[in-house]
Structure 1
Amino acid sequence: MNGLTTAAVYVIQTLGSLYLLIVLLRFILQLVRADFYNPLSQFIVRATSPLLMPLRRIVPGFGGVDLASLVLAILVQLALMVVTLLLMGYGIGGFLLQVLIWSVIGVTALFLKIFFFALIISVILSWVAPGSHNPAAQLVNQLCEPLLMPIRRFLPSLGGLDISPIFAFIALNLLDMLVIRNLAAMTNMPTILSPFM
């Protein structure tokens, strides 16, 4: 593989992964019932609407869940993986179903990473800017709250110290280690696609 191909793969993976992140954030924000009047939410809506609106005609929502944005995330991941494999000289003939499975695994891994990093940001913000009214801070808290609330129900009160993020980190890491990585290994996911994990 020459330097130009490596650079092309890098640019495609970086830009494509950024858009994939935005699409998956749209799905998650609707899933956790985040404030869609938040300026960051509005940016995410505007960035994803051109591809999402036509897809919604084909893929309806179900039970208040925006399935079209989830399908779009999987399609974006699939396109990224196919382009990466083709640029790297791999043939995908007859392996499209397997690449689709890898795409679902990649989207699931990113789903967990979004919550993981949102928790890290939330913990840092609770130390340096508790009760912040910044739109980004509010959005991060809205992302984390549905994950932390069930854990807080089982933890005793520790005098104002919230240790629920620790248990959330453990749960997310266990899911990643025991489910995502094992699925990737069972489906023979090539290491070339590891940036998508």
Structure 2
Amino acid sequence: MIINALHFLLGTILGMFTLAALLRFYLQLTGAPFKNPASQFVVAITNFAVKPLRRFIPGWGGLDISTLIVAFISQLILKLASLWLDDFPLLVAGGGVWIVLAGLAIIELIKLSIYIFLYAVILQAILSWVNPYTVITPVLDALTRPILAPLRNRVPLVGGFDMTPILVFIIAQLLLMLFVAPLELQLIKLY
């Protein structure tokens, strides 16, 4: 019972932190406004880990590598802690388990990345019907523009409705089912 509670706490805290770090990375990558309260919140909760790492790991080609590394380390710690709580013999498992754990952490980052864009598109679509002038709208617009803009050029309006959010949802689910899930299963079999 306590083990389940610890799994839940670790998964929630480290999962949310990983999500925040990835969101920070994508907000910087897409040029989202950082004076926005939503962006400021993401920066504030990730600064304690990103700022010290930036002294040693600079950005590369416009990419904030230190933020990606923070997200990766967070997921790696989560995977290690979960195995440790399940009494997995990490110290005697051999070197291959560490490669598998790193691979699983990367797969989790890919899944979270897909979910970030998927839910940003869904939230933006809902807000466009309910209240298109919320504080988060400029952030969502900047975050989803690289995905939606090319599709909007190719997909015509149907009865005055933009169908690209539905298309993004379908593509994201297919990516998760056809590529990410099988790769994750293959890595898990290597334990």
Q: Settle same-fold status: TM greater than 0.5.
A: yes
What corresponds to 1:23 in structure 2?
Answer: 21
- Contact 1:102 1:189 (C-alpha < 8 Å) held by counterparts: no
Runs (5+) with no aligned partner, structure 2: none
What corresponds to 1:114 in structure 2?
Answer: 116
How many angstroms does 1:7 deviate by? 0.8
Deviation sequence 1:133-180 (CA, Å, 0-9, x none): x22233222211211001011123446421111111121111111111
Cα pair distance change 1:119/1:180, threshold 3 Å: same
- Contact 1:81 1:99 (C-alpha < 8 Å) held by counterparts: yes
- Contact 2:156 2:162 (C-alpha < 8 Å) held by counterparts: no
| 1:123 and 2:118 matched | no
- Contact 2:32 2:143 (C-alpha < 8 Å) held by counterparts: yes
Instruction: Tell me the number of residue pairs that the alignment of Structure 1 and Structure 2 aligns.
Output: 186
Secondary structure of the corresponding residue to residue 136 of structure 2:
helix
Shifted more, 6-15 versus 102-111: the winner is 6-15
Q: What is the CA–CA distance in structure 2 between the aligned matches of 1:147 and 1:4, rounded to whole Å? A: 42
Q: What is the CA–CA distance in structure 2 between the aligned matches of 1:98 and 1:45, rounded to whole Å? A: 30
Letter in 2 for 1:113: Y
What corresponds to 2:135 in structure 1?
Answer: 135
- Contact 1:26 1:44 (C-alpha < 8 Å) held by counterparts: yes
Runs (5+) with no aligned partner, structure 1: 191-197
What corresponds to 1:170 in structure 2?
Answer: 170
What corresponds to 1:101 in structure 2?
Answer: 103
Once the two structures are superposed, the pairs formed by residues 148-167 of structure 1 within 5 Å of their partners are: 148-158=148-158, 160-167=160-167
Q: What is the CA–CA distance in structure 1 between the aligned matches of 2:26 and 2:189, rounded to whole Å? A: 25
Q: CA RMSD in A?
A: 1.6
Secondary structure of the corresponding residue to residue 162 of structure 1:
coil
Q: What is the CA–CA distance in structure 1 between the aligned matches of 2:4 and 2:79, rounded to whole Å? A: 14
Q: What is the CA–CA distance in structure 2 between the aligned matches of 1:153 and 1:120, rounded to whole Å? A: 19
| 1:79 and 2:77 matched | yes
How many angstroms does 1:91 deviate by? 2.2
Letter in 2 for 1:110: L
Q: What is the CA–CA distance in structure 2 between the aligned matches of 1:144 and 1:31, rounded to whole Å? A: 11
Shifted more, 171-180 versus 70-79: the winner is 171-180
Letter in 2 for 1:138: P
- Contact 2:32 2:138 (C-alpha < 8 Å) held by counterparts: no
What corresponds to 2:57 in structure 1?
Answer: 59
- Contact 2:155 2:164 (C-alpha < 8 Å) held by counterparts: yes
Letter in 2 for 1:179: F
Q: What is the CA–CA distance in structure 2 between the aligned matches of 1:45 and 1:146, rounded to whole Å? A: 21
How many angstroms does 1:112 deviate by? 0.4
TM-score norm. by structure 2 comes to: 0.91
